[in-house]
Structure 1
Amino acid sequence: MKNRDNDKVYKLVLTALMAALCYVAFTFLKIPIPTPGGDTTALHIGNAFCVLAALLLGGGYGGVAGSLGMTIADLLDPVYITSAPKTFILKLCIGLIAGFVAHNIAHITEDHDSKYIVKWSLIASIAGLGFNVVMDPIVGYFYKNYILGVESSAAKIMATWAAGATLVNAIVGTIVVVVVYMAVRPVLKKAGLFMKIK
Structure 2
Amino acid sequence: MENNKRKITLYDIVAVGLLAAFVFIATFFFKIKIPTPGGSTMVKLGNGICLLAGTLLGGWRGGLAAGIGCALFDLTDPEYAPTAYVTFLRYFIMAGLCGLISHWGGANGRRTIRNLVAAIAGALTYSTLYIGGKIMGMMLAGSAFVPAVAGCAASIASSLINAVVGVIVAMLLTPALQKALQSTSFARHLAHSSQKN
2:134 is aligned with 1:140? yes
Q: Which secondary structure does the structure 2 equivalent of 1:152 belong to? A: coil
Counterpart-to-counterpart distance in 2, 1:29 and 1:42: 10
Q: Corresponding residue for 2:159?
A: 166
Q: Given the alignment of the two structures, is residue 180 of structure 1 paired with residue 169 of structure 2, yes or no?
A: no
List aligned pairs for 1:39-188, cutoff 5 A: 39-104=39-104, 107-109=106-108, 117-143=111-137, 145-146=139-140, 150-152=141-143, 155-188=148-181
Coordinate RMSD, CA, aligned: 2.3
The count of residues paired between Structure 1 and Structure 2 equals: 183
Distance 1:87 1:24 in 2: 16
Structure 1 residue 65: Cα displacement: 1.1
Gaps spanning 5+ residues in structure 1: where? 1-5
Distance 1:71 1:134, change over 3 A: same
Q: Distance in 2 between matches of 1:81 and 1:145?
A: 22
Quote the Cα distance in structure 2 between the aligned partners of 1:71 and 1:91: 9
Please, which moves more after superposition, 7-16 or 173-182?
Answer: 7-16
Mean CA deviation greater in 135-144 or 39-48: 135-144
**CA-CA distance at 1:179 after TM superposition:** 1.4
2:58·2:108 contact (CA, 8 Å) conserved in 1?
Answer: no
Deviation digits for residues 143-198 of structure 1 (CA, Å, limit 9, x no counterpart)? 4544xxx4426754443321110111111111111111100111122223324355
Q: Is the 8 A contact 2:38 2:134 kept in 1?
A: no
Residue 121 of structure 1 and its aligned partner are, at CA, apart by 1.2
For residues 80 and 151 of structure 1, do their structure 2 counterparts lie closer, same or farther at Cα, with a shift above 3 Å needed? farther
Q: Which has the higher contact order (CA 8 A, sep 6+)?
A: 2
Secondary structure of 1:31's counterpart equals strand
- Unaligned residue ranges in structure 2 (runs of 5+): 1-6
Superimposed CA distance per residue, residues 105-152 of structure 1 (whole angstroms, 9 cap, x where no aligned partner)? 5x3228x6xxxx221111111110111122210022224544xxx442
Please report the TM-score for the alignment, with normalisation by the length of structure 1: 0.82
Cα pair 1:52 1:181 within 8 Å, conserved? yes
The percentage of counterpart residues that share the same residue type is 29
